[in-house]
Chain A
Amino acid sequence: MNDDTIALRAEGLYKVFGRHADEAVIQLHRGTPRDELPSGTTAAVIDASFEVRSGEIFVVMGLSGSGKSTLIRMLNGLHDATAGSVEVAGERITDIPAKRLREIRQKRISMVFQHFALLPHRTVLDNVAYGLEIQGMPLDERVARARKVTEIVGLKGWEEKHPAELSGGMQQRVGLARALAADTDVLLMDEAFSALDPLIRREMQDQLLELQAELGKTIIFITHDLNEAMYIGDRIAVMRDGRIVQIGSPEDILTNPANDYVEQFVQDVDRTKVLTAESVMRKPRAVVHVGAGPRAALTTMRDEQLAGAYVVNKDRTIVGWVRDRDVFDLVRRGEKDLAPVIQADHGAVATDTALADLFIPSLEAALPLGVLDGRSRLVGVIPRVTLLAALGGEPEAAATATPRPDPLPAEVVDKVLGAAVGARAAEPKEAV
């Protein structure tokens, strides 16, 4: 990873509240557990190191009191770090003069607060323009910019209202707009959506994802809601008692929890929203090339005991699927071309489809649900049993699951294949 792509780096960060903070850091460093520190000394963050890539949504997750707020407040210097360093865009912000720190806060890093922290005596527009005002932008310019951002977050027409006249969701939009207007690369969000009710929260999460895709901000997002973390996070850091216990992608954390704590933590996550088709799919077993004849297709289906198979081109891009009974008829009639019985409605899904969105297609598909990569190549299939097993948190169970019922009985197929062999030369077997 080279330095340009790293928006923020924290190294060996400690925050100890109370007296004798420096001694406590030394003790913690030597391995003294956090609760054996003298009373009156609270180690809120212990030895936190991580890097956040530019344009990434980095989520910090943990139970109440695990030190999330303390950590995020060190990233823009609202709390002084007791030890360790923070770099924003390659520049150290720990132990620098107050003036320089203020400049960095104006230009590089802004924040959205849990309880919105709007200025109640100012209008929405003036709130949004606040960061720009501090940057020293002239009035006309900042009003114009604030209007634009206010519109982006969907508050057009509310510019002249005061925060108290807005609902919670709208107030947080103002908070978000204020941070976006400041146009910093890094956005810190401390439980920004926790005070909102679930529906509004979902809406805000979607909006945040949209904005991020559009504007490419680097976002550090704190939450204690696992589903939220999984939904918006590119990578997640799990905190416990002041320490970061695991950093990884949502799927990593779900499928390979670093320890029992994380495992317990992720137990009640809604897997269907985190896991994607890619993470549960199996190798496709019954696939036939479009150029292979009916006999080859039927043989493949018989060998795999399947009632149908996907048909692909040579480069594995999908064409459609065939049913064993149709192919059976073709073989009986001695046809050489598979094309007449290929059905185009294969219903395959993309690799990044969330599990939650697989159920309906899976029910509608006659075969195990096909999974396509970005170039429409068939890269896997998801039998219904696999889908169910993944929900229970045991992807492995799916591997041993039995195939779908009802293929043609093997004797019947053999008879037909045998009869055909008797009549003409055997076709070369080309099934994949």
Chain B
Amino acid sequence: MDIRIPVGTWIKSFFDWLEDSFSWFFEGLREVLIWMFDAVDWVFATPPALVVIALVAFGALLARGWRFAVGSVVGLLFIMSVNQWDNAIDSLALVLVAAFLAVAISIPLGIWAARNDTVSKIVKPVMDFLQTLPAFVYLIPALALFRVGVAPGIIATLIFAMAPGVRLTELGIRGVDKEVVEAGQAFGAHPRRILRQIQIPLAMPSIMAGINQIIMLSLSMVVIAGLVGARGLGGDVAQAISALNVGLGFEAGLSVVVLAILLDRFTASFGKGLGLYSRWRKSYVAKKEAEEQARFDAEIIEVGGPRRSPGGGAG
């Protein structure tokens, strides 16, 4: 009756083994992660808050236009006014580092899966597994391997957020018009060149959607990472839970929402032709075309001119 498969024991001994045999690796990785986090944190935390807000607003103007710029100023001022600025910067740094790593891993993995059916068959269930396993569960081994602090937060976040990046990259590349890829082959292009010049550019919308998903999932992990002692908004949320502090909880929670909206809109706007930047670009291209046309016209006149001018000028 009392049959119990000791899965837990096995997994525990696996992680114990990992910790014993590769502690040097995890220690090193921990150092690197902390260093990355500190670096990003320093970039955002060193200038005065208002300068950062102004820069973000300018970026928003370039990326999407004035409405988004105004919205981001209002949102960031809100974060400042509830005294969550430093926390928000910490969370932002954690999200950026985790998301950067997740992108750096998932896109090559997605590309590999798109080009190799066997890899695809292995990667798919693994990604499903990683994404459906409750996020808290990652934290335990992460804590064991990286100790309390920002490193286990980044690792847990990165693993949790990776899956959509892999999946959307694979989907995007497999979805590229087969004939266009064949065109590359038919003209004798090397597969790597086809990847670089055809498949990746054409899969870009899908890959960008993947990056956007990664960032959003990372942000949702931020709060959970607070439980393992990562600094930031998550820490305050965790503290508010243990103290049943509704006010603090909402202040930190709403700040997460502001960050989420900002990051989402920023990453969703890439390559969509919104904002000032793309308007500049469009007018630049238009100008270039106009110049081209002018040059054509000039050439035509040059050819036609001399023949016409003697008769025309005299009469």
Q: Which residues of A contact B (CB under 8 A)?
A: 73, 76, 78, 101-107, 110-111, 113-121, 130-131, 134-135, 157, 159-160, 178, 182, 188
Contact = CB atoms under 8 A, between A and B. Distances in A.
A157 B188 contact: no
Given A106-B188, A131-B187, 20 more contacts: A73-B182, A78-B182, A78-B186, A102-B188, A102-B189, A103-B188, A104-B188, A105-B185, A105-B188, A110-B187, A111-B187, A115-B177, A116-B179, A117-B179, A120-B202, A121-B202, A131-B188, A159-B292, A160-B288, A160-B292
Interface in B179-202: 179-180, 182-183, 185-190, 193, 197-198, 201-202
B296 A110 contact: no
A102 B186 CA distance: 8
Contacts of B186: 76, 78, 105, 110-111, 188
How big is the B interface, by class? 20 to 34
Contacts of B197: 119
Top 6 closest pairs, chain A to chain B, by CB? A106-B188, A105-B188, A117-B179, A117-B183, A111-B186, A102-B188
A133 to B, nearest CB: 9
A119 B180 contact: yes
B296 A115 contact: no
B185 A117 contact: no
Contacts of A114: 179
A103 B189 CA distance: 9
Contact of A182 (B187, B198, B288, B296): B187
Contacts of A107: 188
Nearest to B185: A78
A116 B182 CA distance: 11
Contacts of A106: 187-188
Given A117-B180, A119-B180, A130 B185 contact: no
A102 B190 contact: yes
A113 B188 contact: no
A111 B193 CA distance: 18
A113 B202 contact: no
A121 B201 contact: yes
A359 to B, nearest CB: 42
B289 interface: yes
Given A102-B188, A110-B187, A113-B182, A157 B296 contact: yes
A189 to B, nearest CB: 11
B17 to A, nearest CB: 42
Contacts of A131: 187-188
Q: Which of B185, B202, B288 has the most CB of A within 10 A?
A: B185
B179 A105 contact: no
B179 A115 contact: yes
A134 B180 contact: no
A71 to B, nearest CB: 15
Contacts of A102: 188-190
Contacts of B180: 117-120
A364 to B, nearest CB: 43
Contacts of A111: 182-183, 186-187
A70 B192 CA distance: 25
A115 B84 CA distance: 55
A105 B183 CA distance: 11
- Counting chain A CB atoms within 10 Å of each CB, the highest count among B177, B186, B190, B202 belongs to B186
Given A119-B198, A120-B202, A134 B189 contact: yes
B301 to A, nearest CB: 16
Nearest to B198: A119
A157 B296 CA distance: 8
A131 B184 CA distance: 8
A200 to B, nearest CB: 19
Contacts of B193: 134
Contacts of B289: 160
Contacts of A110: 186-187
Contact of A130 (B179, B187, B201): B187
21 contacts: A78-B186, A101-B188, A102-B188, A102-B189, A105-B187, A105-B188, A111-B186, A113-B179, A113-B182, A115-B177, A115-B179, A117-B177, A117-B182, A117-B183, A118-B180, A119-B197, A120-B180, A130-B183, A135-B188, A157-B296, A188-B186
